[in-house]
Structures are given as structure tokens and as C-alpha cells.
Copies of this chain bind each other. A is one copy, B any other.
Amino acid sequence: MLALKHLRLIEVLNETGSLTRAATRLFLTQSALSHQLVALEAHYGLMLFVRARPLRLTPAGEYLLALAREILPRIDTAKRDLARLAEDNQPGKLRIAVECHTCYDWLMPAMDAYRTHWPEVEMDLVGGFHTDPIALLAEDKADLVIVSEAQPQKGVVFNPLFRYEMLALMATGHKLADKAYLTAKDFSHDPLITYPAPDRLLDLVRRVLKPSGINPERRHAELTIAIVQLVASRKGLAALPAWAVQSYLERGYVVARPITKKGLWSGLYTAARADDAQRAFHLDFIATLQEQAFMTLPGIEPLLENEYE
């Protein structure tokens, strides 16, 4: 009894305040965590969390949280050190190319966290836009690319990061705001405000508008905040990841609606050369990206299976 998984549970449960959200972060079900928690509490005859929403720690729980914060980083460091020992000590390189504009928001903190763990790995961002970013791998101009589709390709390994919902943005009081969700046709009257990227990379255009033969007038902006500002100023509609606009929605700057009845969900993957893809420094970067994403981005979901180290 009292295993590392219990310490992880307590740490995540304290952060999320909910078994359901903790389950997402730990790639397990709510039921699994409930069983774990109940078993641990029963074993010591103690309550660890007050059963209210959000879940709050009891003093005994606080004690274990302190233990977790002391022990787990030490264990994680040890795992990395072991992985390093197993490698042939040739330091790795991570030149990262990013397809999606919004990604920078969470990529930066992830890179920061990673740098402290792997100071010897040289990191770089490959700037500029590229029609085929995966080609950068073969050309040896990038070592890791973040893309929105895992198109199987020889010598390239993809790893799922997470999936998220794209929301349609409109000005408050826009007539479309009366609808529960938008369809392709709803986009035909207003200009569409997007990042300056080819249609291929715009999920809304590629997967919803183009199949319906709808091609609205365009207007471009470089930054998320600029797009939101244009929408709020009734210059048109936009489609952005839910996690990128959450804060603007809360403040009431704009209104968001799902796209199509089921919602428009996109995924993100990493792509890398096959030989790099199994090295420890590389796998740990992916793990860090995910951890950071699930920690900071609201409403994202796991994408396929994932192993927690």
C-alpha cells in the first residue's frame, strides 16, 4: 500500500479538484481513480479528501500532498537520469517547427520546463512558414514538427498529443448566436478572419466549408487577440481552438458556438524522424508537451492511447 501512483493521484486531484478531470490527466477513468482513492483511505482508515465539489484535502491529505511534492520530482529526475545513462551520451538536438499559430501559447512554457530537465539538449524554433513542414525532417532542417494530422509516411513517426474543439467566434448579439451550433452555410455571409495560412491548415475550411462549396471572403490577422478584436468589432467570423479563446469568452468580448452538431474536433501530433523518435530526450519532450498541455489548456482530451512513462 501507498505506491507512487497514489502520490500522483493526490497531486493531480489537488490541482484539478475533481476525479473526472484528474482521470483525463492521468489517462485513466474516473472509476479507476475513485477505487484507488477509496482503497488508500480504507487501508489507513483516514479520509484524504473532503467529499465536496471541488474536492478539498483533509489534513492527512495535505500531509500526503507534501510527500508527493517531495518524492515525485526526485523520482522523475531519476527516470530521466536512467534514460540518459542508457543513451550513448551523445546529446540530442531539437529543432522544432510548428504548423499552427496558436500552438506557441503552450509550446513556450513546455520548452521552458523541458530545458531545466535536459539542459544539454540544444533547442531551436524553426521560423517562417513552410508548405510541407514534415519535409523539413528529411531535409534535416527540423527534428520535431507539430502537425494537425498523422499522415503515415516512411521514416516518420507520429505521436498523438491531444484533441481539442474548434469554436466559431462571433460578436455579442450576432444573429447566429441564437443558434445552438453553426453549419457550413452560416459562414457564407460574413467574412472569415483567419491566421495567414493556406486553406489546407485551416480545419474549418478544409473539413467543413470546402466540402460544402462555401468560400467566404477572407481577412487575415497574425495574432489571436487581433482576430478576437476583429470579430468583436463585427468585421466577421472566426474559428479558433476552445482553449485559445476561453479567457475572451469568460470576459464576454465575443460569443462562441460549436461548428456542426457534433462539434469540429482537431488533433495535434508530433512528427519526427524514426531514428530520433525513440530516444529518451525525444520521448521526454513529447511527455513534457503533453503534461504542459493538459495542465494549462482547458477542455482538451486525450488522443488515442498514451503511456504514462
Residues of A participating in the B interface, judged by any CB pair closer than 8 Å: 1-4, 44-46, 59-60, 63-64, 67, 70-71, 74-75, 78-79, 81-83, 85-86, 309
Chain B residue with Cβ nearest A66: B78
Name 8 extra pairs, CB < 8 A, besides A2-B75, A46-B85. Answer: A4-B4, A44-B85, A59-B85, A60-B86, A64-B82, A67-B74, A67-B75, A67-B78
The number of times this chain is found in the oligomer is: 2
CB pairs A–B below 8 angstroms (25 shown): A1-B79, A2-B75, A2-B78, A2-B79, A2-B82, A3-B3, A4-B4, A44-B82, A44-B83, A44-B85, A44-B86, A45-B86, A46-B85, A59-B85, A60-B82, A60-B85, A63-B78, A63-B81, A63-B85, A64-B82, A67-B74, A67-B75, A67-B78, A70-B74, A71-B71
Q: Is the CB of A309 within 8 A of B63?
A: no
Contacts of A44 in B (CB 8 A): 82-83, 85-86
Q: Is the CB of A82 within 8 A of B70?
A: no
Contacts of A63 in B (CB 8 A): 78, 81-82, 85
CA gap between A83 and B43 in the complex, in Å: 9
Contacts of A75 in B (CB 8 A): 2, 67, 71
Chain B residue with Cβ nearest A60: B85
Contacts of A82 in B (CB 8 A): 2, 44, 46, 60, 63-64
CA gap between A85 and B43 in the complex, in Å: 13
| Cβ of A66 to closest chain B Cβ, rounded Å | 9
Contacts of A3 in B (CB 8 A): 3-4
Contacts of A4 in B (CB 8 A): 3-4
Q: Is the CB of B78 within 8 A of A64?
A: yes
| Cβ of A222 to closest chain B Cβ, rounded Å | 43
Return the contact of A74 from the options B71, B83, B85, B86 (Cβ within 8 A). B71
Contacts of A85 in B (CB 8 A): 44, 46, 59-60, 63
Contacts of A64 in B (CB 8 A): 78, 82
Q: Is the CB of A86 within 8 A of B309?
A: no
Going nearest first, the 8 A-B pairs with the smallest beta carbon separation are A45-B86, A44-B82, A46-B86, A67-B78, A60-B85, A44-B86, A2-B79, A46-B85
